[in-house]
Amino acid sequence: MVPLSDNNPTRSTPYVVYGLIVLNVLIFVYELSLQGMGDDALNRFFNVWAIVPAELTDSFRGEAINPIGEWVTLISSQFLHGGFAHLGGNMLYLWIFGNNIEDQLGHGRFIVFYLACGALAGLAQWIFALESVVPTLGASGAIAGVMGAYIIRFPKAQILTLLPLFFIFTTVRLPAVFFLGWWFIQQAFYGVASLGANADMGAGGIAYWAHAGGFVFGVVLGPLLGLFPKGRGPFNQERRR
- pLDDT (tens place) for every residue of the chain, 241 residues total: 899 999 999 999 999 999 999 999 999 999 999 987 876 899 999 999 999 999 989 888 877 677 788 889 999 999 999 999 999 999 999 999 999 999 999 999 999 999 999 999 999 999 988 888 888 999 999 999 999 999 999 999 999 999 888 788 899 999 999 999 999 999 988 888 877 554 454 444 678 889 999 999 999 999 999 999 875 666 555 444 3
Active site residues: 140, 211
Give the CATH superfamily of 2-224.
Rhomboid-like (1.20.1540.10)
SS3 171: strand
Angle at 18 between CA 171 and CA 7, to 5 degrees: 30
Task: Report the C-alpha gap between 157 and 145 in whole angstroms.
Answer: 17
Q: What is the DSSP letter of 25?
A: H
Q: How many Cβ atoms are within 10 Å of 160's Cβ, its own excluded?
A: 16
Question: Can you point out the beta strands (E) in the chain?
Answer: 2-6, 158-165, 168-175
Task: Report the C-alpha gap between 73 and 137 in whole angstroms.
Answer: 9
User: Which of 147, 136, 132 has its CA nearest to residue 187?
Assistant: 147
Global confidence as pTM = 0.89
Question: Are the C-beta atoms of 128 and 221 separated by less than 8 Å?
Answer: no
